[in-house]
A and B are shown apart, each in its own frame.
Chain A
């Protein structure tokens, strides 16, 4: 017995010992020289794989495309370090010939790979030709479809010959999250089969090189290059952190805990509640906005996407009725606790878009009318953004801005006023009948809609979905949510849904051009029911007017103001047709802890880039970061 008791005591002692045992977060890397960033990809299954160009390669946002890869141009979703447009590997903007069949790229001299080889047009030619000659590389398809040939007149010039006119071809090499990165010719040409080559360790074109990584894929640590001056960001200054660690930070609550213990400098995304908790309890944690709503509005428009091939939803009246049932204030509360930037129109209310679209179109929206069959109503309520702000002021107090433009920036402008009467009229016009408290379809069956949501993957969207479902249910529609965790992309592509909370509208953010998503909305790409739908026309909706708009956009230059006008035509069209119900910007609760580093981007004083750390564009953040206390 005694021996047993002793054994137990010893065990406890050992445990306590472990507990007490102080341990650095990262071994042999000084914390104060290291930036620790959450990689939302989580655990990378094939950690030792850095060949980004092979489809299904390992991680992308493990630091690889933020710190080690580079290409011609970057468009910043916000203001940019030095303007929205940045010539990175290219020294000038894209140079098209007048009929958009030839693109000339001038390269920046004096840029070197981390192994000391200079980056030249030879690498460009190799990258492009490899994609032309190999199938199943990440960018094989677009290259093979567009490029007739490529040539390098000199060391710093590359000329693309295009198969057909394309004024947006340079988009392929313009980083918005990512773009077609350059391959190191001198490595890959020795590698044999490009698809089977792991590219480990990666040779870097960015200011950092790989220091070490976890074979189980939970962390990747990058180290600043000695010769960082010979990379493109050097134009903006020296990167602050000597080391950058991209880690799998676990589920939302663990991320919050980690940052409270100052073990995670940047949380990629957490729940609103997590954000508020950090704002309350962690003095040095901050979001994109200093106060409420904190989150960064990505140039991504979260919407209720209908499957327009669904017989019941083909009718515009039904779609509009469903829109008029939604109380966006409740949705904003349920999903973001009010920290949402709402948008009534088919463009995200972020970056430069409010200037180019929301504000100019306000007047049109106020006069915009919907015919319910019995009467005409003006559904637009310009005060909803303000109403949300007001409803939050009692609880959030001074954090809530009061200047109208700030309110508009944070919460958005107007949205559709809930109008159950009008909704009922529209439903009836569409031939639906109300039996008791239940809407019946024209052929007399109960009207059921399943809203597909992503579940844990995107808590906020899941919450929005269940709120919309609730409101429809209360209107008498048999609506419920379906969690398609992991399979969401699949089902979205397959059109295997009635309605889905997702986004079919993504933009540059920093540039008014809409082709980034709009081009793929052309009817030519719509898949048969049941056949997989290519991105991003998930709603499988087509309209002759839309096709006309798209075709026109294809023929005007990237920066041509005419593009914006056409964009507004698109906005009017989708407002009338309501193929998807735009809800709000995808606001990302990126939380930055200033215990070790300062100079993070923010809305008020430094909107120089998107803080959301899985964007390739966040490489610009490194040059702005400064250690808080020089140790």
Chain B
């Protein structure tokens, strides 16, 4: 695995670029630990200063240092993406592998459920969830809800692989040697689907971050937690764009776009490595 990564890094431009971009983003997120200010406090620095020294990326109309806010924002946003991805991966794996392995009516049932979740427009439903949960709609609960909605597309990919594994002889031998379904799935099949899981993770993170940003920009999430979305939200509250405080919107947008492109490059390079035919998880936006 490591050698593969090393080779990819050396010889696959997309992969290398993706790693670099994410490296930058990750570094910025890590810096949040060093922030001199609490992300919740405002008017800790003079407002509306353009980028320069001592405030590298300028300050907001709320008297916050854009750079340090950004570190918290991107940290939380990434964390959010990872949590969603993690939980939804588990779901996707479970359903995908079981469906693929079991086949028959179980497969059919799971897949029609799966297709349902692929087709249903999620945004209205997320908005509705917000209006049920209101201030209980914390960042964590949103992550949970989105994880429960965001597994379908990848479950399909995993299932298709599992389906092909099912007919391989090692599965047969596994069955004859009396392995339980759980054993076969975890010991025999899991290793094969892991690469796909990895690449879909990237797309899934993109997807969840995208929605999180959208929702919080529309004020449909908890605005106390600094995320890229809530940063833009506050900027809009202060009509930063027209007021000429462009750095308040520009830098979050740039950073989040870097993140997206980075993750995305990783995903496609992984994809090409795994399986040139795979569909790049399109539609996950």
Contacts and interface: CB of A to CB of B under 8 A. Distances in A.
Bound pair (A, B): yes
Contact of B242 (A277, A463, A466): A277
Which of the listed residues A257, A463, A486 has the most CB atoms from chain B within 10 Å of its own CB?
A463
Contact of A277 (B219, B223, B224, B243): B243
A487 B241 CA distance: 28
Contacts of A198: none
A309 interface: no
B123 interface: no
A253 B131 contact: no
A527 interface: no
Contacts of A463: 62, 237-238
B219 A273 contact: no
A593 to B, nearest CB: 15
Interface stretch (B6-14, B36-44, B87-95, B253-261): B36-44
Given A273-B61, A334-B62, A484-B134, A253 B223 contact: no
Given A253-B239, A253-B241, A271-B237, A330 B219 contact: no
A455 B221 CA distance: 11
A277 B244 contact: yes
Contacts of A467: 42-43
A456 B237 contact: yes
Interface string B24-42: 0000000000000000111
B115 interface: no
Given A253-B236, A466-B42, A480-B224, A487 B134 contact: yes
Interface residues of B, number: 26
A251 B237 CA distance: 9
A462 interface: yes
B284 interface: no
A483 B215 CA distance: 13
Contact of A470 (B42, B240, B241): B42
B162 interface: no
Interface in A290-344: 330, 333-334, 337
Which of the listed residues B43, B241, B245 has the most CB atoms from chain A within 10 Å of its own CB?
B241
B243 A273 contact: yes
Given A455-B219, A455-B223, A481-B223, A330 B43 contact: yes
Given A271-B237, A333-B43, A463-B237, A253 B134 contact: no
Nearest to A271: B239
A252 interface: yes
Given A450-B135, A455-B223, A252 B239 contact: yes
A288 to B, nearest CB: 19
A334 B63 CA distance: 9
B40 A470 contact: yes
Contacts of A473: 40
A459 B223 contact: no
A474 B43 CA distance: 13
| Interface size, A (range) | 35 or more
Contacts of A485: 219-220
B135 A482 contact: yes
A459 B235 CA distance: 11
Contacts of A277: 239, 242-244
Contacts of B42: 334, 466-467, 470
B123 to A, nearest CB: 17
B238 A470 contact: no
A518 B237 CA distance: 32
A274 B238 CA distance: 8
Nearest to B223: A483
Interface in A475-505: 480-487
Contacts of A483: 135, 219, 222-223
A540 to B, nearest CB: 20
Contact of B239 (A270, A470, A484): A270
Given A480-B224, A483-B223, A487-B131, A271 B43 contact: no
Given A273-B61, A473-B40, A256 B134 contact: no
Contact of A273 (B134, B222, B239): B239
A199 interface: no
Nearest to A270: B239
B181 to A, nearest CB: 47
B219 A271 contact: no
Given A252-B239, A466-B42, A481 B224 contact: yes
Interface in B44-69: 61-62
A244 to B, nearest CB: 25
A361 B42 CA distance: 34
A455 B62 CA distance: 15
Contacts of A253: 236, 239, 241-242
A271 B48 CA distance: 15
B43 A273 contact: no
A387 to B, nearest CB: 16
A276 interface: yes
A459 B62 CA distance: 12
Given A482-B135, A487-B131, A273 B240 contact: yes
Which of the listed residues A252, A256, A337 has the most CB atoms from chain B within 10 Å of its own CB?
A252
A570 B42 CA distance: 35
Contacts of A274: 239, 242-243
Interface in B116-172: 131, 134-135
B143 to A, nearest CB: 18
A456 B236 contact: yes
A462 B242 CA distance: 20
Nearest to A278: B242
Contacts of B240: 273
Given A330-B43, A483-B219, A273 B135 contact: no
Interface in B201-235: 218-220, 222-224, 233
Contacts of A466: 42, 224
Nearest to A480: B224
A257 B242 contact: yes
A473 B244 CA distance: 31
A477 to B, nearest CB: 13
A459 B239 CA distance: 10
B236 A273 contact: no
Nearest to B238: A273
Interface of A: 251-253, 256-257, 260, 270-271, 273-274, 276-277, 330, 333-334, 337, 450, 455-456, 459, 462-463, 466-467, 470, 473-474, 480-487
30 contacts: A251-B236, A252-B239, A253-B242, A256-B239, A271-B239, A273-B238, A274-B242, A276-B243, A277-B239, A330-B43, A334-B62, A455-B219, A455-B223, A456-B218, A456-B219, A456-B236, A456-B237, A463-B62, A467-B42, A470-B41, A473-B40, A474-B41, A480-B224, A481-B223, A482-B134, A482-B135, A483-B135, A483-B219, A485-B220, A486-B131
What 3 pairs between A and B have smallest CB-CB spacing? A273-B243, A482-B135, A459-B237
Interface of B: 40-43, 61-62, 131, 134-135, 218-220, 222-224, 233, 236-245
Given A256-B239, A271-B239, A456-B219, 7 more contacts: A273-B242, A276-B243, A334-B62, A466-B42, A470-B42, A474-B41, A481-B223
